[in-house]
Structure 1
Amino acid sequence: MKKLVISFFVLFMGITSAFSQGDFRFGVNGGIPVGDVEDFSNFHLGTDVAYMFNVAEVLDVGPLLGYSHYFVEDDFDDIQFIPVAASGRFGLSSFYLGADLGYAIGVDDGNDGGFYYRPMLGYRIGKLGIAASYEGISMDGGSINSINLGIEFGL
């Protein structure tokens, strides 16, 4: 797993060096777990960094690397993931629609990870965006989901 994360990081840095016309975006979000996980988790916190390329006047796409943490109650270990995804943002004036699709690598013991998806709706004020999103990770035997509110900074 560590080799996969390191390989993605090297690939990510190589792509960003080769294409300097993009821009970095850093996001932080928090939310409420829903679905299968809401019975034993009470809060979700996530962060991500993306390097977005403007491919059309209203469309940005690029790779995304993040960290997602579900805080678990009682004597159980917290659930943690490293999402590796393709990210897209479609801008409509100040509003934008977005989606992240990829794989969430499980970090904690016994967590194999799963398919990662996060649709979002946001409002951009200059380089700052405020976004509502639904994060889902589909794994064998269930899913881990949350409804989130966050901010995204353009660097």
Structure 2
Amino acid sequence: MKRILLSLFACMVFAFVNAQDNHFKVGAHVGLPIGKSYDLFDMNLGIDVAYLWSINDKFSAGVTSGYTMYTSKTYIGQFGRMQRTTNQNFVPVAGTAQYSLSENWFLGADLGFAINVYGDLDRGVLYQPKFGYQTKKIELFAAYKGIADEYTVSSLNLGFNYKF
């Protein structure tokens, strides 16, 4: 059993080291809340990390995570009193896929869960379709991010990724 696990580990390391089409991405995004989220939050800020495996020339799939925060907003509450919402901070754990429309343009999507690490919302289903421009080393993208449970937190985002 040890030999099988060791062999499997060696094959995975070899694949990661020698795979030239696979890539690791690190980036950041900023967004404006929309819908009911606009009433409760000022903006969405976050960092992203992802690793994608090349399935073929145009399609890649992998895993993604990071940290995303919806910043609190002051609003007029019940009886005309000023109230402030609580920041909502999530750690997404999701699968990601990307399809290249051409050498530079792509469509992508993330689907998984977002775990709330600070705030009063619970975890939720994360979905994020993307459209963007890419070169060999960078990506610029626009995305819609939704985190849905009993209440949906959503935003329109602009992001930047650096590929390693």
Common fold by TM > 0.5: yes
* 74, 81, 98: which one aligns with 1:89: 98
1:112 partner amino acid: D
Query: Quick check: 1:105 aligned with 2:115?
Result: yes
Query: What corresponds to 2:156 in structure 1?
Result: 147
Spell out, residue by residue over 1:65-110, the C-alpha distance to the aligned partner (whole angstroms, 9 max, x if none): 1111000113332011001000011012210000000000011143
Number of corresponding residues: 139
User: Residues 17 and 136 from structure 1, CA distance in 2 versus in 1: closer, same or farther, beyond 3 angstroms?
Assistant: farther
Larger CA deviation: 59-68 vs 107-116: 107-116
The separation in 1 between residues aligned to 2:47 and 2:161, in whole angstroms, is 9
Query: What corresponds to 2:63 in structure 1?
Result: 63
What 5-or-longer segments of structure 2 have no aligned partner?
1-11, 75-83
Query: What corresponds to 2:80 in structure 1?
Result: none
2:28 and 2:47 in contact (8 A); partners too: yes
1:35 and 1:143 in contact (8 A); partners too: no
Aligned 1:1-155 pairs, distance under 5 A = 17=13, 19-20=15-16, 21=19, 22-74=22-74, 75-93=84-102, 94-140=104-150, 142-155=151-164
What 5-or-longer segments of structure 1 have no aligned partner?
1-15
The sequence identity of aligned pairs, in percent, is: 33
The separation in 2 between residues aligned to 1:88 and 1:18, in whole angstroms, is 23
The separation in 2 between residues aligned to 1:135 and 1:113, in whole angstroms, is 14
RMSD: 1.5
Query: What corresponds to 1:13 in structure 2?
Result: none
The separation in 2 between residues aligned to 1:85 and 1:96, in whole angstroms, is 19
The separation in 2 between residues aligned to 1:46 and 1:18, in whole angstroms, is 32
Bigger Rg, which one: 2
User: Residues 66 and 56 from structure 1, CA distance in 2 versus in 1: closer, same or farther, beyond 3 angstroms?
Assistant: same
User: Residues 116 and 19 from structure 1, CA distance in 2 versus in 1: closer, same or farther, beyond 3 angstroms?
Assistant: farther
